[in-house]
Amino acid sequence: MRPLRLITRLRYALRRSRMLQIGVLLGFWLLGQGLSHLIGLPVPGGIIGMALVLALLAGGVIRPPSIHRGANWLIAEMLLFFVPAVMVVLDHRELLGLVGLKLAAAIVAGTVLVMAGTALTVDFCCRWRMRLVD
């Protein structure tokens, strides 16, 4: 009876605490990193961790409320984790000149093409499938 009550209490604490949930996700990432090193896979640890969590969610071992709040927080604040990478500009002053303009042009033109191409392809496939179903 005693250990069962302890598990229930832990689960209850986990559902209430966002910090604990972030800790759990951190643990799965470390596990993924370890597995990635151990097997020598070219896949980053985060993706292996995500696959593990997804499998546990699908198998009903983890219920969404146990990690929901932590996951939402990590995704919502993801922009912060990008910031340090942008600071590479400090060592690449050439990006502030002509090379930077060229890069910006390449990114603008490329992105417009990617967006239009993807959206038109998906729209076409969707309507084609709908016609098949009808």
Partner 1 sequence: MWTDPLLQGLFWSAATIGFYAAARQLFRRLPRWWASPLLVTPLLLLVLALCLHERYSGYIQCTHWLILMLGPATVAFAVPIYEQRAVIRRQWPVLLVGVFAGSVIAMGTAWILADALGLSASMRMSLLPRSVSTPFAMTVSGDLGGSPELTAMFVVLTGLIGASLGQGLLQFLPLRTAVARGALFGMGAHGVGVATANRIGREEGSIAGLVMILAGLGNVLAAPALAYLLRRYA
Q: Which residues bind partner 1 (CB under 8 A)?
A: 22, 25-26, 28-29, 32-33, 42-47, 49-51, 53-54, 57-58, 64, 67-68, 70-72, 74-75, 78-92, 99, 102-123, 125-127, 129
Whichever of 1 and 39 has its CB closer to partner 1, that residue is 39
**CB contact burial 11-49 (16+ within 10 A = b; e otherwise):** eeebeeeeebbbebbeebbeebeebbeeeeeeeebeebb
Distance from C-alpha of 86 to C-alpha of 98, rounded to nearest angstrom: 18
Whichever of 3 and 64 has its CB closer to partner 1, that residue is 64
State the minimum distance, in angstroms, from the CB of residue 46 to partner 1.
3
Whichever of 9 and 92 has its CB closer to partner 1, that residue is 92
Whichever of 9 and 19 has its CB closer to partner 1, that residue is 19
State the minimum distance, in angstroms, from the CB of residue 12 to partner 1.
19
State the minimum distance, in angstroms, from the CB of residue 60 to partner 1.
11
State the minimum distance, in angstroms, from the CB of residue 48 to partner 1.
9
